[in-house]
Chain A
Amino acid sequence: MLSYFKEYLDWKTLLLALGLVGIGLLSIYSATVDVNAAANFYRQLAWAGLGFVAMAVAALLPIRTVQRLSWGFFGLMLVVLLVILVIGSTIKGARSWFGVGGFGGQPSELMKVATILAIAAFLARSETSLSDLKDLLKTIAIAAVPMVLILAQPDLGTTIVFFAMLIPILYWAGVSNFFLVAILVPILVAFGALFGTAAFLVAIVIGGGILYYFRENRFAAAVAFGITLAVGLSVQIMYERLPAYQQKRIATFLNPEADPLGAGYNVVQSKIAIGSGGFTGKGFLRGTQTQLNYIPEQWTDFIFCVPGEEYGFLGASLVLLLFALLINRAIRIAALSKNRFGSVAAIGIAGVWITHVFINVGMSMGIMPVIGIPLPFLSYGGSALIANMIMAGLLMNFYANRKEH
């Protein structure tokens, strides 16, 4: 019996995920106990219960069934996204919430899971080869369709997550180094362009050098450089076309203290919250920043401040450590998995989590722009919690079936 559990139950993933959910509930309680939002805690508790069931189902379904259902799930979520674009209600400037019996639902969270599974199912086909440009483009297209729909909501943060998760998947599945570089360099240049002309020129020079170094043939390198230039130059135009709140967020990221009472307010307050936590923190329900609600809607995107302030360096490090262990566990499962479906999907899951954690925690500490994406397992929000627990369940599934080809 015990050996059976050892063989099939991935208790590491289970404990890490449940530990993070527990810390999340504690933090949400702390952040909402005083602001007439205490109901949020009980809702999240209910979501956690539901999420546990979803996790169990994801872990226990036969892996072949999961693989077969992937396309159907993907198609269903695309339809839901389309419906939302037409009739969805607007929350915080984005049309992504789905009213279901008083619980807001954000289908783009589940869309991430569906996209990972669809790409994994596509790459798991024996006839698919990433050396074939057609298959490569098809893989990218699977990610691009939901990305476009989500960008149209508009939800920049989630779009970035889709993009960020695609890179490790392609890399893991064996795409050539040049191709990866050709995708990453334009991003570098585009980012540089935001800081002004000098930074743009430096980025172009470095980017060109990198492309040249990884070139496989000159024509492809030249095309990639051309694309890089075009992207860099169009950033300014795109920036103009971004909604005002996104523009403000980018400008605020570049200099949060410039407008400490306005757009930079959250970041400044969040840094104060974390910084004032010190080594051991101020104690449960004793964080002044948290309890006095200096950080609006802290229980969503700025939840990391709560452990940071109330439990200090010890508590915040514990949260980061749990995430690091969980993400490395996902990569480990990808390596252990003898079937391509599970392996690719596990890497996709690791990619989603590292993107979320780095952007969210980095944003709370002022080293990343304020991009509204939640911290997995901790942030308030039912659909995100469910999606993350499903992903943990899938990892456990892939682990149990790691020896299957």
Chain B
Amino acid sequence: MIGIEDFGLRTRLRLMHAIVGVLFVVLFLRLYQLQLLYHSEFGKRSEENSVRTVIKEPVRGYMYDRTGRLMVDVGPSFSVTVTPVSFDTAQVPELSALLEMNPAQLIERINRGRAHSRFSPVRVSRDVTYEVLASVEERLYRLPGVSYDVEWKRTYETGIRAAHLLGYCKEISDAQLTKLGATYRQGDVIGSTGLEASYETFLRGEKGFEFIAVNSKGQMLGPLDGGSRDVDSKDGFDLILSLDLGLQAYAESLMANYRGALVAMDPNDGGILAMVSKPDFDPSVFSGVTPADEWVRLNNDPEKPLFNRATMTRYPPGSTFKMLLAVLALEQGTITEHTTVRCTGGYRFGNRIFKDLHVHGTVNIREAIQQSCNVFFYQLILKTGLDPWFDQARAFGFAKPTGFDTNEETGGLIPNTYYYDRVYGKGRWTQGQLVNLGVGQGEVGVSPLQMARYVAALANGGTLLQPHAVSRIYNKRTNRYSDVDAKPVNIGVSKKTLDIVREGMRWVVEKPGGTGGMARISGVPSAGKTGTAENPHGSDHAWYVGFAPYENPTIAIAVLLENAGFGGTQAAPVAGKVMRRYLGVPDDVWRPAPTAAVPTKDSTASVAHPDTTVLH
């Protein structure tokens, strides 16, 4: 035991305190030396320090067409950055002059970055020209905190636009930054619309980090620890599209002077061969920095060039919808292929007369499709019933989104009893309102994409396909391709019914008196249907849907031309040209056969004179 009796205790206690005291005095002296005597040196070194974290941007994935031709890749883009903590605000006038930007905007951008982190560089000007970059670089020595980044921007390798389908990238917004968190930082570019947005996670890749030692003059001394701390960036995945580049370019040129949309689809797998929405815009406008005035112009243009008419319009399909009702009636047994109706040019229901453009005489279902006889279909929907018709439309993919890659689409509108009860009230609507539906008029809204899918299902024998623009994704890290799932669904229509309807569609194109002769393809039998949708606000919208070849079809198409007039004279020629190009058939100018009637307006739903009767 240590006790008072131990005379050494006091000595030992003193020595203990003394040793501890000496050790702490040493630490205090060193602290004093470092923090007070050498402060200016270390302060400078910390300011000039010493390691820069350079973010290595991954290369965004490319896009290829179905034949492997490069459509979209990336090129270098230079951004000028400012690190708020080391930037002297006195330099704002000089820097803003160099960058040719408003000083207030420059300050605002720096402050926004400062709020995020004082120490990380904020991009104040993206995609500067080589001239601006060179002049900034010359003056870097007197612009502390200013630097530049090399990034990537989209470059478009071909003349095509496909702007709505491919989409564009934009600088990430504050709201997105908050929502998406750590993956992105201020000033990053993110897919904003189209495939760029929906495949963002695949295209983006992963950032890398490089730690570089620099001296006080900003000269790079080399990688820190021989680069052992660096993290490589991982490039984004490539998209292989089902698009046919040549066909897309051709379709775009054909649509150049129209407002409308065109969708061409492979009826065997649902792959989109061409998708055009006009008017459109040049996606490369967005690849660097979008000039503000250009953005305002695109947004405010009354023609709505940013709007994807191929997937987002809700127009009545007009007579192109007649096959749907024909399928339903044949399947129900309401009619057979031999049932005939005598068309006298109009149909009276109650005190309303629904007129037809021609007196078609006695027609069966095939002839009714061929000649687009309205009278046949006016009364047919009253027999099949509204809700079965609605169900049939749903089975063909209407009134719901198609699940297309871009996620930018409308489900459209198909009415049923529930819908009318809700809109008009129970018992406040009459069967008369249904008559127009039989010819695809009235409260019906469909998109060209839905129509292409519908005609593809008629073409391929009753399989509803999942339309998709991306067929495969190429993983650069594993060098593997993975297929994009596209789930086909069988609609459950008998072959007999389909054969009847398809034959009617073939007559539309092939037989004299058919309304779609201008879509004819020499040497290749094809089928189709014209439509002219009444438009209360202006000229009629022209529709054409079709497929070719008749046996074993390889292309299905839907064309919509807003306010263009007759489907048979406006939309059918465009569809015909696209199909001829795809099938490699010379684009012969179609000449009417001597006996053929001139293609005419094929449907209308306005009230006509009560000078017609309907016979069975």
Q: A173-B2, A174-B2, A262-B225 are in contact. Are A168 and B16 (CB under 8 A)?
A: yes
Verify B50–A294 contact, CB threshold 8 A. yes
Contact stretch, chosen from B30-38, B69-77, B392-400: B30-38
When the two chains form their complex, are residues A288 and B27 in contact, meaning their CB atoms are under 8 A apart?
A: no
A213 within 8 A of B: no
Q: Would you give the 0/1 interface string for A304-320, flagging 1 where the beta carbon is closer than 8 Å to chain B?
A: 00001100110011001
Report yes or no: A288 in contact with B28, Cβ–Cβ below 8 A: no
Q: Are A272 and B13 in contact (CB under 8 A)?
A: no
Would you call B20 and A327 a contact (CB within 8 A)? yes
Chain A neighbourhood of B357, CB < 8 A: none
Looking at the assembled complex, report how far the CB atom of A144 sits from the nearest CB atom of chain B, in whole angstroms: 23
- Establish whether residues A273 and B182, one from each chain, have CB atoms under 8 Å apart when the complex forms: no
Residues of B within 8 A of A324 (CB): 20-21, 24
A340 touches B47 (CB 8 A): no
The CA-CA distance from A226 to B371 in the complex, in Å, is 119
Q: A262, A278, A327: which contacts B39 (Cβ < 8 A)? A: A278
Contact partner of A323 (CB less than 8 A), chosen from B8, B24, B38, B39, is B24
Does A277 interact with chain B (Cβ within 8 Å)? yes
Contact of B12 among A172, A323, A358 (CB under 8 A): A172
Task: Kindly report which residue of chain B lies nearest to residue A309, judged by CB atoms.
Answer: B46
Interface flag for B587 (CB, 8 Å): no
In the bound complex, do residue B17 and residue A365 qualify as a contact, i.e. CB atoms below 8 Å apart? no
Taking the closest CB of chain A, its distance from the CB of B526, in whole angstroms, is 60
Name B119's contact: one of A261, A288, A340, A405 (CB within 8 Å). Answer: A288
Interchain CA distance A324-B18 in the complex, whole Å: 11
Q: Is the CB of B20 within 8 A of A354?
A: yes
Does A331 contact B42, Cβ atoms closer than 8 Å?
Answer: no
Q: What residues of B have a CB within 8 angstroms of the CB of A168 in the complex?
A: 16
Select A272's contact among B17, B46, B182, beta carbons within 8 Å: B46
CA distance A298 to B548 in the complex (A): 70
Chain B interface SS verdict (over half):
helix
Which of A296, A312, A362 has a CB less than 8 Å from the CB of B35? A312
Assess the A331–B13 pair: CB atoms within 8 A.
yes
CB pair B17 A328 closer than 8 Å: yes
Task: Determine whether B222 belongs to the interface, using a CB cutoff of 8 Å to chain A.
Answer: yes
Contact B38–A275 (Cβ < 8 Å): yes
B46 CB contacts on chain A under 8 angstroms: 272-273, 275-276, 288-289, 309
Closest chain A residue, CB of each to CB of B3: A338
Q: Are B34 and A261 touching (Cβ within 8 A)?
A: no
What's the tally of chain A residues with a CB closer than 8 Å to chain B?
A: 58
Residue A36 lies at the interface, judged by CB distance under 8 Å to chain B: yes
Is B1 located at the chain interface by the 8 A CB criterion? yes
Give the 5 A-B residue pairs with the shortest CB-CB distance, closest first: A275-B42, A276-B46, A313-B35, A275-B34, A276-B43
| Residue pair B50, A279 in contact (C-beta under 8 Å) | no
* 8 Å CB interface, A60-98 against B: none
Contact of B27 among A261, A289, A313, A361 (CB under 8 A): A361
Cα–Cα distance between A335 and B47 once the two chains are bound (Å): 48
> In the bound complex, how far is the Cα of B117 from the Cα of A365, in angstroms?
28
Using A273-B46, A294-B51 as known contacts, say yes or no to A405 and B31 having CB atoms under 8 A apart.
no
Inter-chain contact B222/A261, CB cutoff 8 Å: yes
What are 16 residue pairs bridging A and B, where the CB atoms are less than 8 Å apart in the complex? A34-B117, A261-B213, A261-B225, A261-B226, A262-B226, A265-B225, A272-B46, A275-B39, A276-B45, A276-B46, A288-B49, A288-B119, A335-B13, A354-B20, A361-B27, A362-B26
Determine whether A339 belongs to the interface, using a CB cutoff of 8 Å to chain B.
yes
Answer whether residue A284 sits at the interface, using C-beta atoms and an 8 A cutoff.
no
Contact A294 B49 (CB under 8 A): yes
Which chain B residue shows the least CB distance to A124? B1
Chain A 388-405 interface residues, beta-carbon cutoff 8 Å to B: 405
Residues of A within 8 A of B31 (CB): 274, 308, 313, 316-317, 320, 365
Give the residues in chain B near A383, CB-CB below 8 Å.
Answer: none
Instruction: Report chain B residues within 8 Å CB of A276.
Output: 39, 42-43, 45-47
**Interface residue? A350 (CB, 8 A):** yes
Residues of B within 8 A of A316 (CB): 31, 35
Any B CB within 8 A of the CB of A27: no
A50 CB within 8 Å of chain B: no
**Contacts of B39 on A, CB cut-off 8 Å?**
275-279
In the complex the two chains form, what is the Cα distance from A279 to B38 in whole Å? Answer: 11
Bound Cα distance A83, B24 (Å):
38
